[in-house]
Structure 1
Amino acid sequence: MPDATPEGFDALWQQVDRIPGWLTPAQARLLHTAVRAVHPGPARVLEIGAHQGRSTCVLAAARPDVAVTTVDPFVRTRRYAGPAVRGLLGANLTRLGLEHRVTVLATTSADARRGWVGAVDVLHVDGKHDYWTVTDDLRWAAHLVPGGTLLVHDAFSSVGVTLALLRHVLPGRSLAYRGRTGSMARFVVAAPSAADRARMLAELPWWARNVVVKVLLRLRLRPLARLLGHTGRDDPY
């Protein structure tokens, strides 16, 4: 089993990085740190979107008393292999010795929430990225404890995710923006100040740049994307 201490993160990442996915090392460290910061008692983590477990394993390895529930319908799409992915998730959890810390709910976020009871310390949202799905996923934030952490992947990178955050979180009264690591935005359960809202709005130019980069990549205009600072092969994360 991976070392759950902060010093053990690099060794953990060497194992997790073998799992396909779009989580960067810095974003993984943010997830790891958020779970380790939960105090006192067991850390209760809820994740929307597991895929093969790249982020799930990071969350579950953060500390020995963590209980992770990950929700994914494992639907077959053009980009995803559907139900077969659940087996890959299970295999990765077993390889890292983390299967006893994770409960997998093979259902939609909305269906899982209807029967959910209990508080959540850390919520990681990385499901389907359209506006309506993200809007529904954000309703899980009602289960976060005071001071709890919400981490949203592909924020200020995906149109659907960003619009949902602007519509439902920016004018809200319960989630305060605390910055981002790449495209992973961090919020805490607290009354947002005017400065918090201003910092969130200040991310919009970066969002616009990312949308343009994605369009250029789809059009196979990679040299133009490089002019905007994009150095990788994949979408900006």
Structure 2
Amino acid sequence: MSLKLPIDVHAIKGFLAAHEGEALYHLAAEASAFGSSLEVGSYCGKSTLYLASACKLVDSVLFAVDHHRGSEEHQPGEEYHDPELFDEGVQLMDSFRTFRRNIRAAQLEEWVVPVVAPSAVAARCWNTPLGLVFIDGGHSLEAAMTDYRSWARHIVPGGYLAIHDIFPDPADGGQAPYDIYKLALASAQFELVEMVGTLGVLRRV
């Protein structure tokens, strides 16, 4: 990896490939000319590390939106459940403590604003123009549609929408991120910039 990050990104739990993370880093730096960046789905902070490191470089801010109770696939008995992130006291998944620890270790707290709430709740009274929205939240169709409808409208012209886990072939993965990707293109409000792995990068026209 060509980037020099403040901590070892491989030590952070998450599902973002290194080349996708590098693309997010460069995107956040460029998007700062249009407004702040926002991610939906921080989990333990892997994507946050890339995005916030770029925000630090250009003195911008990253809003990190996540309820930190995990998506459907993170729950007990599901494929991506991690017992280390399960809070036995309340019998709920909780990635927030790990997220905060990672951001503190990376010394990025001054450039990250954690928003610990469901996506739709966080967006309900949102008024800040955004230069970049990165969607990597729940992968059910309902969750993905909620994220897209909640945040895409806040992207300013020239700003970017990035969507993770786009799989055109259903055999490769879930279709909800691909569905909102197609919806964004069909809206005529966004144009495709590039695909980096499963990361789709679109620009607001």
- For the Cα contact (< 8 Å) 2:67–2:117, is it kept in 1? yes
2:61 to 67, 88, 104: 67
Return 5+ residue gaps in structure 1 as ranges.
1-7, 191-237
Q: Does 1:160 align with 2:160?
A: no
What is the Cα-based RMSD across aligned positions, in Å? 2.0
Q: For 1:174 and 1:100, locate their aligned partners in 2 and report how far apart those are by CA, in whole Å.
A: 32
| DSSP 3-state at the match of 2:176 | helix
Q: Does 1:126 align with 2:133?
A: no
- For the Cα contact (< 8 Å) 1:31–1:59, is it kept in 2? yes
Match of 1:29 in 2: 22
- For the Cα contact (< 8 Å) 2:37–2:63, is it kept in 1? yes
Match of 2:88 in 1: none
Aligned residues: percent identity?
25
Match of 1:99 in 2: 109
| DSSP 3-state at the match of 1:179 | strand
Could you tell me the TM-score, scaled by structure 1's length? 0.71
Deviations 1:134-188 (A, max 9, x none): 111112111011110111000124212212333x223212011122111011100
- For the Cα contact (< 8 Å) 2:32–2:55, is it kept in 1? no
* Distance change (3 Å), C-alpha of 1:17 and 1:113: same
Deviations 1:172-224 (A, max 9, x none): 1201112211101110001xxxxxxxxxxxxxxxxxxxxxxxxxxxxxxxxxx
Could you tell me the TM-score, scaled by structure 2's length? 0.81
* Distance change (3 Å), C-alpha of 1:149 and 1:11: same
Matched length: 181
Letter in 2 for 1:135: M
1:19 to 12, 15, 19: 12
Deviations 1:7-60 (A, max 9, x none): x9532186222101111111011100001113548x511110000000011111
Letter in 2 for 1:16: V
Return 5+ residue gaps in structure 2 as ranges.
86-91, 168-172
- For the Cα contact (< 8 Å) 1:13–1:25, is it kept in 2? no
Match of 1:141 in 2: 152
Q: Which has the higher contact order (CA 8 A, sep 6+)?
A: 2
Letter in 2 for 1:112: A
| DSSP 3-state at the match of 2:67 | coil
Q: For 2:4 and 2:204, locate their aligned partners in 1 and report how far apart those are by CA, in whole Å.
A: 31
| DSSP 3-state at the match of 2:161 | strand
* Distance change (3 Å), C-alpha of 1:158 and 1:89: same
Match of 1:115 in 2: 125
